A and B are shown apart, each in its own frame.
Chain A
């Protein structure tokens, strides 16, 4: 089922009657989600990603725009008739029902010609339980389960009625770090196995990058960029996207372009053919630094952190927006920590230029 959002807009009326300022939670969101893909809605809190999910589920009504499931316009369809599965951030498992009863719950709602016999319901419930590997826990109450198990039950409950679209709201945020890693692979497996178009919301860029087929980066209700995770990482549309993706985060310098040369401070650090002369913000990915005696970028060395495979070099520079610059280099490089300065040359593909005032990307030919 491909899902189409057409100029989707959600405006919350102002709470404060005096100022009368409305809150635009989602602004003019147009996007077609291809069938059977896993989509990550990504952004900082308050960016409108959860609202978008609620609009998709039908729990909230859009102020403007349309939503299509396939060819069917579902904009005015209430949540109960949309046939979506929704996994809540706190899972919302009914505490007085057992795992089996929780999973059966959506099936028991079916009426008319969709009504199932008891045996069919049990079969479907156990199928869903097997898919998320909780078939041994069917008689437990939610309070007797761990966080990860509860989350699986919630997914099984959302999947059991074979929803047209599966929606997950911050599905991993209540799990500890190790379980999160494991569960996100699990999520990907379940999604691939069922082939259900899935949209999930997260503020964790690593999570979104690791399992999504496509990510949608949002900020203040406006979509910033849509694309495959690697493409968005390698080719950010603006400074916000560049800053939001990647750990450690991108290093930002103030600089300027003059005669096809990029200057940081007084040093010409990179050839940027095709970029017009202007003041720019320079984003350099941590892996874009090459330690080089002859390198043009000269930073004050603060220290290094050895992480086995890589070395993380911490340094400072006057033109840097961040307090420290963090660069990741291979452990094979030798860094002389007694030296007060370190010089880098830059990988052109890891350097992004943004207009200083609009923060829009400034392209140059990297050759």
Chain B
């Protein structure tokens, strides 16, 4: 029995060491940093232990701005991208001719280089010396005033950021959902048809419950991904996100560590722990809700 236990631990060792060094240790370390007041990384000294760092971060207008941006981004993009992906997947599943072509087209953004995607969005939204960007051309064409999407009003910038995020996460969601839809047994639909079920009811009462595990997976990963947003904002608005007012929580953490105002690992740690707490809470709520609405077979 003892020998068996030993063997078991031996087999687990690589994973435990890896997770311990790269996941558990840093997590604990961050927690400790966040509680150490006035930590100095050069001299490795601090004044005392307490919640001062949290108090500072929660009063920092930059953090509050980042928190607001992140929450707006999450609340808008997660339902929107999942919903649109669901619509497109159902559509893809319903058509026969050119299905493969459409599937490829919808999946292209996933395999496209981020820089290329950024370039496309520049063409769409960024004003240059010669043009105000493609979207503004359209707006002008319909008789509207040009909007500066990159340096302009807050809502315009937020719109671009949300648009970009939705567009970037869509292919993966469509891929997962078309797969889930294709795996639903056609007999269920035949049975429902014979019983005179309307299309809408078929979708809500059969399709959705049947693919609910995939939808749930996408919502959870969508929430986590959106809370961790940073690189998308950088791609659109450059590295000085605080100046643009478009910073995110992860961006705030990064700035506190390495940015212009960098050199504050304690504040960065406190912000990171706050983000962790938020994501953990949301995920737990998701899990609770899913118990009732997600059906595993």
Contact = CB atoms under 8 A, between A and B. Distances in A.
A85 B209 CA distance: 24
A351 interface: no
A143 B194 contact: no
B274 interface: no
A92 B209 contact: no
Interface residues of A, number: 27
Contact size class for B?
A: 20 to 34
Interface stretch (A14-22, A102-110, A117-125, A228-236): A102-110
B190 A96 contact: no
Classify the interface of chain A: helix, strand, loop or mixed.
loop
A94 B206 contact: yes
B197 A90 contact: no
B242 to A, nearest CB: 48
A357 interface: no
B297 interface: yes
A94 B188 contact: yes
A48 to B, nearest CB: 18
Contact of B194 (A80, A94, A95, A110): A80
B194 A84 contact: yes
B193 A80 contact: yes
A51 to B, nearest CB: 14
Given A95-B295, A143-B297, A90 B187 contact: yes
Contacts of A86: 190-191, 194
Contacts of B198: 109, 111
B210 interface: yes
Contacts of B192: 105
Contacts of A80: 193-197
A73 B6 CA distance: 76
Given A96-B209, A96-B210, A109 B197 contact: yes
A111 B187 CA distance: 23
Contacts of B7: none
Given A59-B194, A88-B191, A92-B191, 6 more contacts: A83-B196, A105-B192, A105-B205, A106-B196, A110-B196, A161-B195
28 contacts: A57-B194, A59-B190, A59-B193, A78-B193, A80-B193, A80-B195, A80-B197, A82-B194, A84-B194, A88-B187, A88-B191, A92-B185, A92-B188, A92-B190, A92-B191, A94-B205, A94-B206, A95-B295, A105-B192, A105-B195, A105-B197, A106-B195, A106-B196, A109-B195, A109-B196, A109-B201, A143-B297, A161-B195
Interface of B: 185, 187-188, 190-198, 201, 205-206, 209-210, 212, 295, 297
